[in-house]
Amino acid sequence: MSNIGFLGLGKMGAVMAPRLLEAGHDLTVWSRTEKKSRTLVANGARLAANPAEVSASAEIIVTMLADDAAVMDVFSSPGGLLSSSVGNKLFIDMSTLRPSTVLTLAQQVNSANARFIDAPVSGTVGPAKAGQLLVLCGADEVDFRRAQDILRIFSRRIIHAGPVGCGALLKLVVNLPLAVYWSALAEAVALGKQGGLDLSLILETIQDSPAAPPVLSMKEPIIKGLTEDVAFSIDNMIKDIRSMLETGAELDLPLHTTQSVLELYSAASEHGFGEADAVEVVGYLADSMINSK
């Protein structure tokens, strides 16, 4: 068994980190909010005072943090992961980052004589808790083989997308059509309701057609207003869409549909839906279209 470090105990990290303990690994954790680590510590994890303590004690360090700025801070600030000796350690970042950020991090880690891979995930809290995430990995072959046993603890499948940065790019590619889908579904719902169709009928029929992704049945209760569960918020989706657009600009590729979708999610956030599940954009936009008539 290995000494593993885990940083970031938000919605995803809080259900991923316990799986490492369950698999028998020695675990050191760190979170900006100490109370998030109490259950893990009670179950045998060690709590580090700062990220540097994590990298000093662990041979493999996993980060699952909110955004690019948070990851850069945890790696590079005084008391950060790279402020202690990290020779030959392996860093696995599982956050959703811009590929350019990933490449910057990899350069910093390699300059410290350590190794880095990006391994963002597709899936939300339920699959994370069950170890059924889809892991999208960017790494060279040696580092990929070294990371596989740890990544399997979280995943139903691991895709080796290519060298470092390719996992981050593939994650944006995977998230882009879903962001567009919810906005398109909103217009479909608005069209049907404006013409007198019942919301349940609309959703039931779409789900029995080629127009339904698998996730729609899971999200139907939220669209109907039957639950306020949040797996992935509108503000998180906005963050990812901006990363898509920025990455497109870096690749000299304009993403016109994605730009329009950003405006819709941003409007929903500005009207108080930022912390709601991303699928809430369906009800917000459909109601806005109908009420503007």
The pairing of beta strand 121-122 with beta strand 115-118? unpaired
Sign of the torsion formed by the C-alpha atoms of 154, 157, 161 and 167: negative
CA–CA dist 201, 256 (Å, integer): 32
SS3 content of the chain, % helix, strand, coil (to 5): 55, 15, 30
CA distances from 82 to 8, 88, 109, 147, 166 (A): 16, 12, 7, 19, 23
CA–CA dist 23, 36 (Å, integer): 20
> 178 CB contacts (<8 Å, ≥6 apart)?
213, 215
Nearest of 13, 1, 205, 38 to residue 120 by alpha carbon: 13
Phi and psi dihedrals of 46, rounded to 5?
-100, 135
Helix axis angle, 256-268 to 234-250, nearest 10°? 150
Q: Is 66 exposed, middle or buried (0-12, 13-18, 19+ CB in 10 A)?
A: middle
Positions marked catalytic: 171
